[in-house]
Structure 1
């Protein structure tokens, strides 16, 4: 029985102003998948750990198995026997691409078992099927960086056009997950369907400025471009004391601050690990005063994407 064990990283999506088009991978947290090819037919999920019973074992309803099935259909092996173990090493509903990390680990595993027939970039559309199952919309700003590593821009969805962006090599992310519930589907429904042209122009300028800052290694340009006037004002309502957390991060060396994905996790970009650690400590102290438990992660931008563990 041929088997592999894979780790796939969490991601920060949107990166403030880049709703559904920008994201980057981090070294921690992430998810693990153990996958085996069997002599039987069909996909089965034999074990899920770390999910507190929240995720379905039904292979048609789980993002990992559903995406793997799309892959097998594509390569002309739809009835292949596959056993999957999913080990959640990150919180569900955190805004850190929990479903993405699981799905990407599963796709990397099955592709490895079939001798890497597709590139990681070519696996993105299959991972998007998992995101569609998880939140109703197949966006790529989590799955693309999780698969490809680094900082990623989704220039277009139809046709899918993904660009890997350069970024300052000393970049660190200070991430704090307040343990409050912000379901992705609910968060998406809060977003305005129409915006004023002047607001759109401001947002376009910020996205262009952020991408330019990444190319130029211009920290000042990156920081002042990390402003969102369309989505953050609405979603931040769901995060306790968001404005205070933002002020604390920026006052303690953060280049920019925002919501990771749909939240409730928040993040700051910094020039070094020490600054990032200081920010996470300040944010956690403030949340503790509010009787809100939290988890914190300090990470470089992950450059590798998913990896084999054994």
Structure 2
């Protein structure tokens, strides 16, 4: 945004890393229930407690594996260190644990308490982005649910550790969204409209380009457990001096649950938006586009109405 501020404090949005994740769980057989495979899509936000330690929160929902409706919410803490000693300064190795609650979707978690432990590898892609993988185990407090899992992550680094310094101000926006998904294919063969509410995070990487992460969940349309997690990039440009703006974005992620037919869970979504800024930092957007699954099934038009709040944050 062309400005700088001097700070020694954490900036960003109050947290330091934000990521989208996908996981595959191999659930062990128990009693008369055979072993199964469950896929999850989720998000995680983390705060640094020190150079090596961090803590955060994570949420995920099932998209595949006969566990429609399963969701989990956990607090997490971990430790990591750079592999600079072997010449790989952008590679970080660590471990983390998580405790919280999970249930639904015919997944037997007993009283609902969950614990996780995992090893983590993270690779920084320049200053502001990273990818990662982790492998570990998750277990319910009662022992009824016991699984091994592998997870991939893609994320944004919103703040960086270091001494006080001048921080460039970058543009960030939060959006509240209502989407109408038309004729969403269902597992029973029907095609029914559904409505979702969601939240979007956008971070500018120049005057006309941005990165975005989004999460949406169904609130109507006989698809109560349907959820979507998306990440991607977009472009925007002003149309006039009266506050009109045109933007377009291409996203990929995972969707499922609520009886919506989306074999494999992977989706892509393309959207175009017309926006109007009624006052500085506030914008209404009307969007149209399409969401499509990797395989036969979900392939629907999407209408989106969003209210966006923009502001600048210092990035160390």
More strand by share: 2
Fold shared, TM-score > 0.5 on shorter chain? no
- Return the TM-score normalized by structure 2: 0.27
Largest Rg, 1 or 2 = 2
More helix by share: 1
Larger RCO of the pair (alpha carbons < 8 Å, separation 6+):
1
